[in-house]
Structure 1
Amino acid sequence: MSSEDQNKKKTNQFTILKDDSTDGHGGYGAGTVSLENMSPVIIDPNEDRAFVDMGAMHARSEIERRVKFLPNKDEVPNGKLYWIVWVNVEKNKNGAYFSGVCGSEVRVDRSIKRAYKSMPEHVTHMEKSLKGKIMLEHMDDHSKKLLKDFLADFEGGDMWNNSTDELKEVLPK
């Protein structure tokens, strides 16, 4: 494996099952929402690729950098479509699995350095993903296929195999 492949592999890792801040200790941070089991997967249907970009947690992903976000989609009429899919990972008796998966639209027009995304939608989808919801019906079929292939191939497919039938039914075969 080349060093470039090794670097790519390192950047395509999910954040899997870190310490839970609500483990009952009652100290500082008890009762706060933990994003430690969440990873943003960028779907780029223009280039037929899907990848984890942790920068999206702070609106600093590869697709979000060096553009000004506008709240109105009409102001970015030639924007290329991307999806940030908020993927939450949990563990059951079979091992780790994709528990919550919700996709949020992003449109980027590099020629004018402008982009569109609905911050309330992204926050809602992050929250729904944390709660184990699957919300992908608004995504186009090509993007859903890229997501399915990425999740099914990740780490040999074990997490996909452990995931719910609901997720498998929403994504194309």
Structure 2
Amino acid sequence: MEQGGEKKPKKQLALNVVSNKEHKGFGAGSIDLNSVSCVIIDGDEAYIDIGAMHAKSKVERRIKFSTNKEDVPSGRTCWIVWVAVDRSEEGQYYAGATACEMLIDEEARRGWKILADHVNRLDYAIKRRIMVDNLGTKEKGLLRELLIKHNELWWTNSPDLQAALAE
């Protein structure tokens, strides 16, 4: 306690996943998440939700996940798309993008996803792979619109992703 009976506010613990710092020493050579963002596609909406990095996106909160699809018979399909950004001589571009499916039933507070698939696809995005064939035409369009809106120059510099998301 401080003098006068006032309590000092507690510092909140936080993980800094996105930063400009280059990590050296312990953990050097481990997975670098600084260039990865998470896009959620839910129905008619696509939005960036960095909380997905820790399974805390808007759609994942308060959901108990199962690896058995039958546990979520009334679930709606949502997608997490891991998007990695890199730099070339032309400038920054969308270098990797991988899509992961999940089912969400908010009313029952149940969901389905295969965590190993999500982790592997995050790794593939970091390794600059593009794997969005599992998205439907509507989802590809929503992702394309979001990425263009977010940074049109990056989109222009990303011919591989443009081809993968072409109609």
TM-score range, shorter chain: 0.7 to 0.9
**2:35 aligns with one of 34, 37, 55:** 37
What is the match of residue 160 of structure 1?
A: 155
Counterpart Cα distance in 1 of 2:162 and 2:98: 13
Q: Matches of residues 1-173 of structure 1 in structure 2 within 5 Å? A: 18-21=20-23, 27-44=25-42, 46=43, 48-155=44-151, 157-163=152-158, 165-173=159-167
CA RMSD of aligned residues (A): 1.4
Number of corresponding residues: 150
Equivalent-residue separation in structure 2 for 1:80 and 1:90 (angstroms): 32
- Percent identity at matched positions? 37
Contact persistence 1:20–1:34 (CA under 8 A): no
AA partner of residue 76 (structure 1):
V
For the residue of structure 2 that corresponds to 1:29, the secondary structure is coil
Q: With the length of structure 1 as denominator, give the TM-score of the two structures.
A: 0.82
2-side partners of 1:20 and 1:77: how far apart? 45
Give the TM-score, by structure 2 length.
Answer: 0.85
Q: 1:172: how far off?
A: 2.7
Q: Which has the larger radius of gyration?
A: 2
**Deviations 1:75-120 (Å, cap 9, x if unpaired)?**
1121111100000011111211110100000110112110011101
TM-superposed deviation, 1:169: 1.0
Runs of 4+ deviating beyond 3 Å: none
Structure 1 residue 166 displacement after superposition = 2.0
